[in-house]
Amino acid sequence: MRKIDVFDTTLRDGEQSAGINLNTAEKLEIAKQLERFNADVIEAGFPASSQGDFEAVKKIAQTVKSSIVTGLARSVKSDIDTSWEALKYGEQPHIHIFLATSPIHMTHKLKKTPDQVVDIAVESVKYAKKHFPLVQWSAEDAFRSDPDFLVRVVREVIKAGATTINLPDTVGYATPSEYGAMFRHLKENVPGIDRVKLSAHCHNDLGMAVANTIAAIENGADQVEGTINGLGERAGNAALEELAVALHIRQDKFTFGTDVKLDEIKRTSQLVSQLTGMAIQANKAVVGKNAFAHESGIHQDGMLKERTTYEIITPELIGENSTQIVLGKHSGRHAFKDKAIALGFELSDEKITEAFKAFKELADKKKEISEDDLYVLLTDQQIQEEEVPVYELKSVQVQYGNGSIPTASVSVISPDGDLLQEASTGSGSVEAICNTLERLVKGKVHLLDYRVTSIGKGRDALGEAVVNMTYNGKSTTGRDVAQDVLEASAKAYLNAINRQLVNERKRSYAKTV
Ligand code: KIV
Ligand code: ZN
């Protein structure tokens, strides 16, 4: 069985999705879970793109031990230097440099000739090799590049010291046979190609990202790139959980596989969805809520007689056991802590105490606490960043009747420590809350998107709200959970504002040092 390396770019290409903005603590939490999922390489971000990305990549490189940590860089010395400062703490420092090679990109975006592109690519790889033992070079828009030019530039960057060559279908235009043929062409025509790792990176604009990736493996790729839940620019990247499960389930057909820990898939997918605020479509392959649901009578009958009539993947394979009731109202701190450890959380005593308090409050309202609830509660404790003064919800009250105008009264503690109170109306309860909060926070808010979902099943399930807005002209997303969706909505709204405030503070701090 040929082993295929898994390169996860949830925290870089995935984080580039519209509406996602993760802070350092959230990125670190996802990176630790990707390590448990057994990704061979984790692309933690783009260190030169912002102070926040730099800090997150550095923290992840310092923390993650069993996966290689990398960061993206343009083919310029300053990006490579910044990346080194963030990535030098990794067990095996790895950089990912890219440069576009298609006529469209070279002419219109780079405004460079093919000869100039070859020179820049070679120079950047040579420069990166002064620091990094592992250098991945990507030909952006490789699929729409001239095949002979691709052969030439790849040959030169291998001579310059690149250790991995990545050939992306940047705009998701390829079909499986075409994408596979590009790998075969390079394999057959580039001297020295067998000394480097060949990597596939597919976008899903035409819904073929996973199929194209498999075609690349069949034609010589040793590494696959993708994201959890298929997040990414536009229609997203190849979904890694789908790839890993497809290669596992169809072992009868494929002569290759990954080392992904399949029973970490469900947890990884839920965590990414929770922290990014990107809901998973119910019928999504492998991790959708309905992926194992059998609705029709004929199917249910078949399942009862013999599961394999309609089931090719078992929920257990991907670690789906989260609806189990694990703790209740009478569970003590000891049982709670043991369960947190068993679920893989490493929390300080102080954080366990805070989480236990939140657990007790929840258990008072909800008799049975499921594994889903615990994950949300413990993750929320884990990602609490260092205390900086932000807005804090004190109370929210809504008056609603189908014959009257909904009115909300809200009080918050401001970042300066003042108690602020306001009331406002709206066409519905949520709008009344948003209108009131807009009066309370200083700055200009423009709401872009709002969503509520339930965590787990049952009528007493926790409600999660996600709010996407621009605040003072910058896009930001907030999320929070509560037993009541109106409270969750108010908290998610403030969470979006607070993220923006923390980012602004970081930016002004960075300018002063
Ligand atoms: O899709 C793409 O081309 C990329 C590169 C930066 C590798 O994400
Ligand atoms: Zn990409």
pLDDT at res. 422: 97
Check if the beta carbon of residue 45 is closer than 8 Å to that of residue 12: yes
pTM above 0.85, yes or no: yes
Which residue out of 10, 15, 72, 212 has the highest number of ligand 1 atoms within 8 Å of its CB and is therefore the one to mutate? 72
Tell me the pLDDT tens digit for each residue of 421-452. 999 999 999 999 999 999 999 889 999 999 99
Q: How far is the CA of 123 from the centre of ligand 1 (A)?
A: 20
Check if the beta carbon of residue 236 is closer than 8 Å to that of residue 203: yes
Residues 297-308 have a mean pLDDT of 80
- Residue 13 CA: nearest ligand 1 atom is 8
pLDDT at res. 328: 86
Residues lining ligand 1, Cβ inside 6 A = 13, 98, 138, 140, 166, 168, 170, 201, 203
User: From CA 245, how far away is CA 313, in angstroms rounded?
Assistant: 8
pLDDT at res. 456: 75
Tell me the pLDDT tens digit for each residue of 263-283. 999 999 999 999 999 999 999
Instruction: Please list the residues that pair with 74 across neighbouring strands.
Output: 98
What is the residue with the minimal CA distance to atom 5 of ligand 1?
Answer: 140
Tell me the pLDDT tens digit for each residue of 60-75. 999 999 999 999 999 9
Residues 22-31 have a mean pLDDT of 95
Listed in order, strand segments (DSSP E) in 347-461 are: 368-370, 392-399, 407-413, 419-425, 445-455
* pLDDT band at residue 24 using 50, 70 and 90 as cut-offs: very high
Pick from 18-27, 297-306, 435-444: least confident? 297-306
Tell me the pLDDT tens digit for each residue of 115-144. 999 999 999 999 999 999 999 999 999 999
Listed in order, strand segments (DSSP E) in 346-413 are: 368-370, 392-399, 407-413
For residue 275, the SS3 value is helix
Instruction: Please list the residues that pair with 368 across neighbouring strands.
Output: 328
User: From CA 443, how far away is CA 440, in angstroms rounded?
Assistant: 9
256: exposed, middle or buried (Cβ count in 10 Å: 0-12, 13-18, 19+):
middle
Tell me the pLDDT tens digit for each residue of 86-120. 999 999 999 999 999 999 999 999 999 999 999 99
User: From CA 409, how far away is CA 470, in angstroms rounded?
Assistant: 23
pLDDT at res. 507: 66
* pLDDT band at residue 168 using 50, 70 and 90 as cut-offs: very high
Tell me the pLDDT tens digit for each residue of 186-202. 999 999 999 999 999 99
The answer on pLDDT for 512 being more than 70 is: no
What is the residue with the minimal CA distance to atom 2 of ligand 1?
Answer: 170
Q: How far is the CA of 95 from the centre of ligand 1 (A)?
A: 14
What is the residue with the minimal CA distance to atom 8 of ligand 1?
Answer: 13
